Amino acid sequence: MARKLAKISVDIIKGIAIVGIFAIAAQSPNFLMQLSKSLYRKNKYFKNNYSERQINSALGRLKRSNILVLKEKNGKFTVELSEKGKKKIQQITIDDLKNKKPEQWDGLWRVVIFDIPERQKYGRAALREKMKYLGFYQLQKSVWAFPYDCEKEIELLANFFNIYDYVNFIEAKKITNDTELKQHFKFT
């Protein structure tokens, strides 16, 4: 089982994922220390939440874990996410998914249906658990409903768990016998 990353490591990975690549003119042995200083001095979030030493230690751990890749080109060093780091940011994104509830319901039901083969049972179970966590209502064993826009989140989950070809997303104006469904979402 993979070890859970410290919050500072998650924050650094998110920052690199957003920016893409950090580049800095530095000498090789001091690159991580100079990057730590740069993050600390130029980023209010890091400055308000972590010390330079904490940032430097986290960068070192991420490099040793092969989550970050350091490259040198024309006297500049860059740091970017490795393939392992890109998978890690996907996991972080999945873990961070939250139920987003608009002020007013648009009257559309979002229905997720799937028929996922047994060989993909891990992905099927993970999708079900995440939909439960997000507040979906189970209409039938492999049919779930939700009143708010969530197509991007379902697509992200299906891609992440490698089950995209087995998952369908429907927007519907009406679901018959929806009394229990409306009660679940407190619409009555």
SS3 82: coil
Confidence of residue 2 (pLDDT cuts 50, 70, 90): very low
> Domain range holding 162?
98-184
* Residue 164 resides in a domain: yes
The tally of domains found in the chain comes to 2
**pTM for the full predicted model:** 0.67
What confidence tens digit (pLDDT) does each residue in 110-141 have? 999 999 999 999 999 999 999 999 999 999 99
- Any alpha helices (H) in the chain, and if so which ranges? 7-19, 31-42, 44-49, 52-64, 83-96, 121-134, 151-160, 179-184
Q: Residue 170 maps to which CATH number?
A: 3.30.70.240
* Residue 1 resides in a domain: no
Q: Residue 35 maps to which CATH number?
A: 1.10.10.10
Same domain, 48 and 70: yes
Residue from 54, 41, 43 nearest 14 by CA: 43
Tokens of 142: 């492999």
